[in-house]
Structure 1
């Protein structure tokens, strides 16, 4: 069965970059959400195998979305994506249930490696 991955980021450019990187690695079942409310709704409806979640978004923060997803599905696999300089947020995200974090801007190979590792574990 093909892995279903959801990208959550308010920036269209970032969602497109992540999507293209995943598609190059052979992942084609990709969902996108532009904000936290949309992300939670899609998660509940689609149950993706992995969520790539931005921390800084308008409305709900990635940390709030992470909390809602983990509360709904304690086994959810969530990787946080954040800009450099958000070490405190990263620590908080890991404490709230995120499995890993990727710092933006990221190398395509790094993203592919983390995604493969999380999906295989």
Structure 2
């Protein structure tokens, strides 16, 4: 599979964005757009219309759960994958209730993160 779509990567930590970008590049040649908080993510989403959003939960200014809720208000078809260090049951359930496709922990081994991301983006890889 070679994914060539557009992905909005939202995380307040630069090193995490770089790490996840490297994993995404293993899946093909995606266009990766970055945001460091939820407020910026909303503006960028509207301007860029990415195929997927990878969204951290714990961020300044607007957390990932609120960002997910607002993204879904803007575009109910928005495809969001939560990528976070938080894994309490309530947060996971809330994200999935709001329409997140998946919930991936940042401390998951790199190969497993790549596999999970590939599974999430595979259905649209032929149309992107």
TM-score normalised to structure 2 length: 0.87
Quote the residue 1:65 is aligned against.
Answer: 67
Q: Which secondary structure state, in structure 2, belongs to the residue aligned with residue 17 of structure 1?
A: helix
**8 Å contact from structure 2 (residues 57, 86) kept in 1:** no
RMSD, matched Cα = 1.5
Q: Mark the CA change 1:90 to 1:46 in structure 2 (over 3 Å): closer, same or farther.
A: same
TM-score normalised to structure 1 length: 0.92
Structure 2: gaps (5+ residues): 124-128
Quote the residue 2:5 is aligned against.
Answer: 3
Residue 115 of structure 1, CA deviation: 2.0
Quote the residue 2:106 is aligned against.
Answer: 104
1:58-92 alpha-carbon deviations (Å, 9 max, x no partner): 11010010011111111111000121442211111
**8 Å contact from structure 2 (residues 87, 105) kept in 1:** no
Q: Distance in 2 between matches of 1:41 and 1:115?
A: 24
Q: Distance in 1 between matches of 2:29 and 2:110?
A: 13
Residue 24 of structure 1, CA deviation: 2.4
Query: Deviating runs (4+, > 6 A) in structure 1?
Result: none
Residue 27 of structure 1, CA deviation: 3.2
